Amino acid sequence: MSRYARPVSTDEALALLAAGNWRILAGGTDFYPALGSLPIREDILDINAIDALSSIHEEADELVLGAGVTWTDLLEGDLPPAFDALKLAAREVGSIQIQNRGTIAGNLCNASPAADGVPPLMVLDAKVELASASGSRLLPLSEFILGNRKTARRPEELLVALRVPKNATAGASHFLKLGARRYLVISIAMVATRIVLDEDGCIAEAAIAVGACSPVAQRLRRLETALVGRAPGSEALEAVCDWPFDELSPIDDVRASAGYRRKAAAEITRRALSATFDQLARSGDLSGKAAA
């Protein structure tokens, strides 16, 4: 017979994980649909009663999103414009009911190539904090998600927080997702962008991440480097139009062909960057300003 535990503290949860093999339940928005009509046969560790995991707070050099933070919590949070891409992605995660229950950490641990939260967190240089009874460790998001439904989390570990360095919270950001319809859809391609300008109004920092076009979302590091020093407008967008997007490894499936995905990624990257440039122009000056 399967067991069910609902700890009220992180220490209690870690002690249980150290002593047995548990399936961790956060929002449950992926877990329950996957069951279908099958009975629950795993031991379930429900972390929803751990209040410490549900906070968004600021530390000396980081902004911290607890593992229990829901998409709705994120949308209502007072966060700098660099988080706008993540908030736009939050609005794309299922229905409002899903956003009320689903957690950001659960979206990462589910490790779908089409997870909406991954590209926006990548452009924020987010790190994953994993805790166990014997200690904790930090991993860049790119090292945490290893492939389709595969992560670096060990059985005795709990993802307790996402940590965003304050030096990655400067500038403006945007998120775009392409699917077969407007809402309640799995992505064909998606992109998050974040741009910081220098004192002369040129691009000082560019961060671009594409999802649903590789087994794991990818930062386009070479394109980012190519944009630095360019004016945020037609000059930068021309560089995107000429880019081969060969960092991506899209697949053919029922939603789209690999070739279509690559072309779609190029187009929505151009559109997302254009929207980011417009946001910077409207705001006056976000040059290099991170969260205080």
Alpha carbon of residue 75 to chain centroid: 14
In this structure, the number of other CB atoms found within 10 A of the CB of residue 110 comes to 18
- For strand 44-46 and strand 23-25, is the pairing parallel, antiparallel, or unpaired? parallel
User: What is the reported pTM?
Assistant: 0.93
Closest CA to 250 of 114, 49, 70: 114
Closest CA to 73 of 8, 162, 159: 162
Q: Report whether pLDDT(5) > 60.
A: yes
CB 25 within 8 A of CB 31: yes
pLDDT of residue 11: 98
Rounded distance, CA 198 to CA 64, Å?
26
Q: Report whether pLDDT(94) > 90.
A: no
What does the block give as tokens for 145? 């998600």
Q: DSSP class of residue 113?
A: T
- Write out the E strands in 152-256: 158-165, 172-178, 189-197, 203-211, 218-219
Long-range contacts, stretch 74-81, CB < 8 angstroms, 24+ apart: 74/104, 75/99, 80/169, 80/170, 80/290, 80/291, 81/171, 81/172, 81/173, 81/279, 81/283, 81/286
pLDDT of residue 37: 80
Closest CA to 106 of 61, 63, 73, 60: 73
pLDDT of residue 116: 93
What average pLDDT does the chain have?
Answer: 93
Rounded distance, CA 159 to CA 259, Å?
35
Q: Report whether pLDDT(286) > 90.
A: no
Domain architecture of the chain: domains with CATH: 53-292 (3.30.465.10)
Q: DSSP class of residue 83?
A: G
Alpha carbon of residue 161 to chain centroid: 13
Lowest mean pLDDT among 95-104, 241-250, 279-288: 279-288
Q: Report whether pLDDT(227) > 80.
A: yes
Q: DSSP class of residue 103?
A: B
What does the block give as tokens for 234? 């037609």
Residue predicted with more confidence, 16 or 287:
16
Give the pLDDT confidence of 16-56 residue by residue, as tens digits: 999 999 999 999 888 888 888 888 889 999 999 999 999 99
Average pLDDT over residues 57-77: 97
Give the pLDDT confidence of 240-282 residue by residue, as tens digits: 999 999 999 998 888 899 999 999 999 999 999 999 999 999 9
Rounded distance, CA 1 to CA 80, Å?
47
CB 176 within 8 A of CB 265: no
